Amino acid sequence: MIVVTIMGIIASIAIPNLLASRRAANEGSALQSLRAISSCEATYLHTEGNGNYTDLPGLGAKTLTDSLLSSGSKSGYTFVVNAVSGASAQYWAYAVPITTSGVGQTGTRRFGITEDAVIRGDATLSAPPDEAAVKAMKPLGN
């Protein structure tokens, strides 16, 4: 009985730390994926895009991103890229956690990036509605 109690105490300490480590790893992966998206968008703009950006499936179709990222979901985050064509081509992308609460929470922050290549983030867990909302997020230590 004492051994079971000790194991219960150890589990109650270890499991929250394990879950926090998983969330931190998911957030790190999301940041790196946004950096990759930014690089891929710059490549697309100057090679295939004829002065325009593309969305995430478009990057995947040109094999600029891996198939997992171009599917829109990776490491507990959902990724979306919105491209705006025209005289002043723009794009804005964001990553939001798939599960936003509970024990299985996959992240505690959302992240965004635009054509200025500055990664931004905040603790709001909903998708930003437009590029202005992404630019309103706090810049992270790029």
The parent domain of residue 112 ranges over 2-139
Predicted local confidence at residue 142, as pLDDT = 60
SS3 content of the chain, % helix, strand, coil (to 5): 45, 20, 35
Q: What angle do CA 93, 141, 128 make, to 5 degrees?
A: 25
pLDDT value of residue 18: 86
Mean pLDDT, the chain, as a whole number? Answer: 92
Look at the chain and report how many structural domains it folds into: 1
pLDDT one-digit tens code per residue, 77-98 = 999 999 998 888 899 999 999 9
Alpha helices by DSSP H, listed for 47-66, are: 56-61
